[in-house]
Structure 1
């Protein structure tokens, strides 16, 4: 009698586990990440070496934080290096801008990013500074501007692409 009770308990436990876990597993298999909102860059988009201190020949601009930033006149990278600009959700679940670089320039992009590690860089479009950050790593095929709000993502995306869409990737997974 005890063996039959244990067997029926085991069968019920297994059936319950299957009833609960299979739908969860299937839901995970059916989840597809949302497509990013993508557009080509405007012709005037550029990544500049930047400084918080005045420098000879540098352009003085206000950053998005309102602080003055000084930009080297010649961009390190420009729209001709960028294949696409996208509004995406980053790995932490926040809004971000993803820049994908053209395959044929990825060696140049890698070289530029290596030279700029630890240095201040700024993305600029329409003569407006869109983001200022210290470069923390090497990139070649793409880079992510993260740690921004949905509104900042909209503004940066529109400035970089000219596409005024207010559509956003969903934070729902």
Structure 2
């Protein structure tokens, strides 16, 4: 499995870029899975539903399945957060895994950046960032792309991981 990341500060356009990349790359006939890191507590379950009740009762894992999809929820119950490498072992085989977040991990990444946020670039201090997708012209030593030029960004990523 090939791995490539999308990083950036809040409101930089990471999720929109991820969504467009998945659409573009799967449209080329490649299989893609995604991993999203959340810095806060989140819940994909709803109070009162059976699976929620199983979790609250103390189940470590709850597998919710239908003919359309399945979801495995794993409660850490004060255990250490799994690493990205640990999580990747739980995924089925695909051509490419796109990772949103995990900016401190060592896989190659593209940084999403919007000038309106006023945040500094991460790239100058991070050699794992290979390019920047931005809404403003930049003069850097690494490639930069228009944040909305999904085809060019996808071409770059697929070339980087050897799938082009």
Bigger radius of gyration among the two: 1
TM norm. shorter chain > 0.5 = no
TM score, norm. by length of structure 2: 0.26
When you count helix as a share of all residues, which structure comes out higher? 1
When you count strand as a share of all residues, which structure comes out higher? 1
TM score, norm. by length of structure 1: 0.25
